[in-house]
Amino acid sequence: MNAKVFAPAFYKEGFRMETEAAAKKMKTSAQKDISVDKTSTKKKRILIIEDEYSASKFLSMRLKNLGFVVSTAFDGVTGLKEATETIPDLIILDLMIPKLPGEEVCKTLRESFDERLVKIPIIMLTGKDSMVDKILGKVIGADAYLTKPYEFSDLFEEIKRILLAP
């Protein structure tokens, strides 16, 4: 037996308007959370080392829209080469990447003889979410450790904490 529930048109319309208003309010508050003075991000370079093209593209676009200069690498060897050649202000690093794992990229940078490389802040952004992985990330030199899936606002809070703090 198929029973359909009918609601008066004014109820449906009122509910739709309330949910649209709530969505608009959420969107506005989310925009406030990630708004930033673009002059403070000017010339700040972020290197994203992420093998998943769509994730890298999404993150790159969001950061560029906030005024950062962004470059990307899709494997550990290329990412390490890019980091040593350009000395970015921040690296966002996935751990499960081809050619050279993210842990090795981080360790190589932290053990470098070049002080500029040693001091580059690193945010690990990865699907590895066990407590052991998080502790290992901090031990080998990550400044922050976020797991996927993630909220961009959480990542941006870490970026601000690391890069834009006085």
Q: What is the pLDDT of residues 110-152, one digit of tens each?
A: 999 999 999 999 999 999 988 999 999 999 999 999 999 999 9
User: In sequence order, what are the residues at sequence separation of 6 or more whose Cβ sits closer than 8 angstroms to the Cβ of residue 160?
Assistant: 36
pLDDT value of position 156: 94
Return the structure tokens found at 20: 């649209």
pLDDT value of position 22: 39
State mean pLDDT over 16-43: 47
Residue 42, amino acid: K
Could you tell me what percent of the chain has a pLDDT over 90?
68
Poorest-confidence range of 17-21, 124-128, 157-161? 17-21
Phi-psi region of 118 (alpha: psi -120 to 50; beta: other; left: phi over 0): alpha
Phi-psi region of 66 (alpha: psi -120 to 50; beta: other; left: phi over 0): alpha
Residue 3 has pLDDT above 90, yes or no: no
State mean pLDDT over 41-69: 92
80: Cα separation from own chain's centroid: 18
Architecture label for domain 37-164: 3-Layer(aba) Sandwich (3.40)
Ranges of beta strands (E only) in 67-162 are: 69-73, 90-93, 122-126, 144-147
